[in-house]
Structure 1
Amino acid sequence: MFPFIPRKVSRPTKASISQQQPHPAVAQKEPAEMQRVNELSVAADTKGKGKATKSDLAEEDYAILTILSLSEHALWADPELRRTMDFNAEGYIPLSYLLHHSPYLSKLSPLPSEVSLVKAIRAHAGDHLDVRVLVSAPSRAPWYGRTAVKEDSGGFEVRRKSEGCPVHVVENWSRHDWDARTIYMECIPPHHRSIPGIWRLTRTLLSSSSPSTWAVQVITLPPHHQDKETDQPKCKGFALVTFAELEDVTYILGHWPWDRQPAGQDLDGEEAFKYGFRTLSKPKWQALNEEYLSYRKRLLEEIAENEDEEVPTPRETHAEREPTPQQDGPDTSHPALPNVTLSSPYPPGCLVFVRNVHPETNKTTLRTLFSQAYVLDSVSLEAGADALDYVDFNKGMDTCYLRLATPQHAQILVDYLQSNRKKQTSGLDSKGAEAPPADKKSFAAELVEGTREELYWAKVPEKVRRQAVEKALARSSSDSWSELPAKAVALHGAPDSGERKRKRKRRKRDA
């Protein structure tokens, strides 16, 4: 016999997912079951240093994820889940197993406790799921000693109630049958862009046809082409939804077609209509997806070909060229550098675009690598890094923008990268390989001017632009940095034409 535990009789009941009253057999709890829940609740609250990590999901979201974890499609796709259900004569599944093997629950961070799932199921899915407590037997160690037989540790078990399509019928279905029941949803409203949110939105759109709770079988979030296998897919406004009945598929495709008409929408779909919600069958979506992938591949190949044609050939070094007599007129090897004034909206001529950087590199490595263009006899590495104002680089890209302190620094960097064929061998390569492999392209730099330069600086905050203009004015007026273009010749292998530093004579000591 279990001890009697008092409880309140008049407790406010929460509305279930289907807006129905909970089943009496589920709403009432046995005294031993209440004691088990209280003990686990106290253990969960007092564990650790008293700090609990709260999840962003509500109880209703946990209930929805549990329903999707026990759908007909989940049982069809996971043979191990079916064997676990068949192992129990009454069809119960350990909640701990579902928590660690479900594609919906196992990817939550932090992982919810069994107690929180039990509360969510009983509060919002009591009409569709049945939960019971598995009381553990007392330990036999004090009487018989420790044995190799694993004792039952107790816990919670959950099962489906008799509702929806029979499982034995679904077992004979093929993937083609499920694809026929799958649709593609696009332009999902922002506050519904999650798996529980898509489930609620679909239920709202199907409210006129009075669907069952098991109408939605699977919700899949297609990953981005740059996502890794270990990344958790996030809803970007589109998803694939699989239904249990073909009638629901026909209803959604008929009321929310791909080419929508602006009139004739009901109040239930007012929110979806506001954001341009539309649907498409999975076969048509797959055809459009293949067309998009082929177009994207062809476009990338054309861009790569154009980049190869636009990359300037490296100029010969000063040591390989024949000496030419000095001209009395102004130097015309480079165009006149733009003038920076205090009223300039941005520092002109200070932006350099670089291609063929390593996708796995970072801003610190690129700053160190490109600062080598300013390592001269009278300029230290710190001064070179200071000349590089900002590295605009995003992880995974093979291009970057460099903001230089003055137009002189920008021109020196472009000349340096054109005369020195270098390539990053790895993401952390801060020196660059002098002779890159044949399958890797060297850096290609160009000075950004004109409309491209204006469009780039228009996206930069005004405060940052003003600071860049002030820095360019200060550096241009500095005597130490104004000589950098003349000193850049020594960087490309030519001997310095200036006088060498004279050796300091030692003072003779008096005998």
Structure 2
Amino acid sequence: MFHFVPRKVAQRTRPALSAPDAPVPGPSALVLTPDEAPNQGTDAKKAKGKNKATDVSTDEDIATLLTLALSDHALWSNVELCRAVSAADDGWVPLSFLVQRSTYLLHLEQRPPDSVLVRAIRGHAEDVLEVRMRVTAPSKEAWYGQRASPDEGGGYEVRLKHSADALSRAGNFSRNEWEERTVYVENVPLAHRTVPGIHRFLSSLLPVPTPSSPPASTCTSPPLPSPGHTQTQIQAITLPPHHLDRPGTPPKCKGFALVTFACAADATRLATDWPWLPRRTAVPHETEAETENRNRKATEAREREAAAEEDAVKFGFRALPKARWDALKEEYLAYRQTLLDAIADADADVQYGRQAETAAPSGEGPADPVYAPTRTRTTRDPGPGPEFVAPPQPPLAPSAPYPPGCLVFVRGVHPETNKTTLKALLGAHASRVAAADALDYVDYAKGMVSCHVRVSTPSHARALVTAFTDRPLVQMHGLDGTGSLPPSANSTSNTDVDATPKRITAELVDGEREALYWHKVPEKVRREAVRKAIALAQSQSAGGGGDEDVEMTQEEHGAPLEGEGEATKSQSKRPRKRRRKA
């Protein structure tokens, strides 16, 4: 007998031999040299650089908003701010007061701390604004834990470098002068649809004023402090309110704004370079002085200006003087009021027509001069006097898109019914007033309480509407294919009114509603409906039929007249004679 031998005998693996020349790295070898370190910390440096770029752009935007908050136009328009600057010691205003009272700083999502505001002023608005820290001794309330007034503590103060000149300019300007310097801009590129973005975008489009430019002839304000200074070139940016803006919130830029410049020449230049009509499709040409000035700028500034001009052409940026914009606005409001008045008059005419149809006798049908001939004497009201019939409708052309007047809208059907039951119900009701093949199609969707019914000819449609008006019906349940008379008011007084079925009503569909409905019907079905309507119209005209035949057919079939019910039908039956037994 053989002993059990396993398939694999586990053997102890030998450890790998290390190379004798490979030294073990010591602690000093784990330290990277300066040349090797940058590859490892690239991601961290990228993240820091990205955050730094975001901080720089944010500081620039904050500096722009603070500059606009203390511009000449702001001092002129905001009386409270002008009074505070005039009454302040050497023009120093608390920074907290400016943040709380300025409408420009409301565009910031969150109020930044004072240190961020101070950093933005010192980094991007040193030519216009000055900032200092106010230090005061602590009060007793601070020592004993009581609440102190915010004015008693320290903080930061800000002022204009030339506050006296700014106050004098603001007092000398009039509304008309500011209106001349205001331009309406539209189609601002998407990347610049904020107040600081519009300021930065327009500053790139406009040429930077140089000391050689004559400011006295075109601008009442003094020349700018330095050639590179563009903060006071734009005095105000106003975002007109939009109908989608929420009340009480600062308006958001929808691509248009009103921009006020310090000089009228800048407003004229912007409206000329980027006219309203026709829209510019290429970058405007520069003069020799502008080209020389552009060449003196840094490469980054030239690239920024070129990118702004390309975006302006791409998005269709255009400008318009505010005087012209006001004239167009008045013209638009007048035209809008004219349209509203026309719509109101049309609605009044439609309402008057509906009231006239409601007040008309129920047997005459709708007062339509095309499809409903008007008579002074009908078959139901025989009497002396001539009968006046409206001119017949024009013959239907084979190329017509659909047969007009052959669509009926029915309301009040049971929500649990189906097409078969509805066709039986409407067919039984229509058989009393028209031919058996008058009903073409019942357009009904499951769960609805209304449907569209296509009939063969306009006379059949009017007869169906008249039949439902003269003899109202209700569909008691979903499979009710005959209909019942609506219950009287006395019978429903003790029952649930909501559970009572609604009366079935029919309405002739015409005009735009009819065209929209037939537009959704397949073309093959529409052609067949037109062909059938033409054939039946020709047969009726050859046989002398028409609306009178439909009404006579209604009387021959014994349809109850207006005001007649079951009692009238029982009285019309002849009494049966009883046979006597022999």
Structure 2 CA distance for aligned equivalents of residues 145 and 235 of structure 1: 45
Would you say 1:212 and 2:230 are equivalent positions? yes
**How far did 1:98 drift?**
1.1
CA contact (8 A) 1:15 1:123 kept: no
**Structure whose residues are more often helix by fraction:** 2
Q: In the alignment, is the contact (CA less than 8 A) between 1:349 and 1:448 conserved in 2? A: no
How far does the alpha carbon of each residue in 1:201-249 deviate from its partner, in whole angstroms, 9 at most, with x for none? 1111114546621111111112236767635322222111000112211
Q: In structure 1, what residue type is equivalent to 2:354? A: T
Assess, with a 3 A threshold, how the Cα gap between structure 1 residues 270 and 326 changes in structure 2: closer, same or farther. closer
Report the AA paired with residue 299 of structure 1: L
Partner of 2:324: 284
Structure 1's unaligned 5+ residue stretches are: 1-10, 20-56, 351-374, 380-408, 419-444, 456-493, 498-511
Equivalent-residue separation in structure 1 for 2:124 and 2:517 (angstroms): 55
Q: Deviations over 1:476-495 (max 9, x none)?
A: xxxxxxxxxxxxxxxxxx99
CA contact (8 A) 2:282 2:313 kept: no
CA distance in 2, matches of 1:453, 1:131: 73
CA distance in 1, matches of 2:52, 2:137: 33
SS at match of 1:290: helix
Q: CA deviation at 1:192?
A: 1.6
RMSD (Å), alpha carbons: 5.1
Letter in 2 for 1:287: A
Change (3 A) 1:448 1:286: same
Is it true that 1:248 corresponds to 2:352 in the alignment? Answer: no
Partner residue, 2:62: 62
Task: Show the counterpart of 2:140.
Answer: 140
Does structure 1 retain, via aligned residues, the 8 Å contact 2:94–2:158? Answer: yes
Aligned-residue identity in percent = 38
For 2:99, give the aligned amino acid. Answer: L
Query: Is the CA contact (8 Å cut-off) linking 1:221 and 1:239 kept in structure 2?
Result: yes
- Paired residue for 1:307? 347
Given that residues 283 and 310 in structure 2 are in contact (C-alpha distance below 8 angstroms), is that contact kept between their aligned partners in structure 1? no
Indicate conservation of the 8 Å contact 1:217/1:244, yes or no.
Answer: yes
Return the letter of the residue paired with 1:328. R
- Over 3 Å counting, the alpha-carbon distance change for 1:412 and 1:131 in structure 2 is farther
| Whole-angstrom distance in 2 between the partners of 1:296 and 1:256 | 28
2:248 is the alignment partner of 1:233: no
After the TM superposition, which parts of structure 1 deviate over 6 Å for at least 4 consecutive aligned residues? 11-17, 142-151, 319-322, 375-379, 411-415, 452-455, 494-497
| 1:258 maps to 2:299 | no
State which structure, 1 or 2, has the greater radius of gyration over its C-alpha atoms.
Answer: 2
**Mapped contact 1:66–1:105 kept (Cα < 8 A):** yes
Of the candidates 495, 505, 515, which is equivalent to residue 450 of structure 1?
Answer: 515
Instruction: Output one character per residue of 1:315-370: Cα deviation in whole Å (capped at 9) or x when no partner.
Output: 659x9889x999535699x986654799xxxx9969xxxxxxxxxxxxxxxxxxxx
Paired letter, 2:254? K
Unaligned runs of 5+ in 2: 1-47, 210-227, 286-305, 365-379, 381-428, 454-473, 479-501, 521-562, 567-582
Q: Which amino acid aligns with 1:274?
A: K
Range moving further from structure 2, 173-182 or 99-108: 99-108
The amino acid across from 1:308 in the alignment is A
What is the aligned partner in structure 2 of residue 82 from structure 1? 82
Deviation at 1:451, TM superposition (A): 3.6
Residue pair 1:165, 1:244 contacting (<8 A) in 2 also: no
- Distance in 2, matches of 1:276 and 1:298, equals 30
- Given the superposition, is the C-alpha separation of residues 454 and 413 from structure 1 closer, same or farther in structure 2, using an over 3 Å criterion? farther
CA distance in 1, matches of 2:344, 2:439: 28
Q: How does 1:457-472 map to 2 (within 5 A)?
A: none
Q: How does 1:359-398 map to 2 (within 5 A)?
A: none
> Aligned pair 1:170/2:170, yes or no?
yes
Q: Is the alpha carbon distance of 1:144 and 1:192 closer, same or farther for their aligned partners in structure 2, counting shifts above 3 Å?
A: closer
Q: What aligned pairs does 1:146-225 form with structure 2 within 5 A after superposition?
A: 152-162=152-162, 166-209=166-209, 212-224=230-242
Query: Contact 2:182/2:259 (CA < 8 Å) preserved in 1?
Result: yes
CA distance in 1, matches of 2:244, 2:142: 58
Aligned partner of 1:294 in structure 2 is: 334
Separation (CA, whole Å) in 2 of partners of 1:115 and 1:64? 16
8 Å CA contact 1:93–1:159 kept in 2: the answer is yes
8 Å CA contact 1:16–1:123 kept in 2: the answer is no
Q: Could you tell me how far apart the structure 2 residues matched to 1:193 and 1:187 are?
A: 9
Deviation at 1:449, TM superposition (A): 4.5
Distance 1:321 1:126 in 2: 88
Q: Secondary structure at the match of 1:214?
A: coil
Counterpart-to-counterpart distance in 1, 2:150 and 2:163: 35
Distance 1:150 1:164 in 2: 27
For 1:12-31, what per-residue CA distance to the aligned partner results, in whole angstroms no more than 9, with x for missing partners?
Answer: 998999x9xxxxxxxxxxxx
Q: CA deviation at 1:184?
A: 0.9
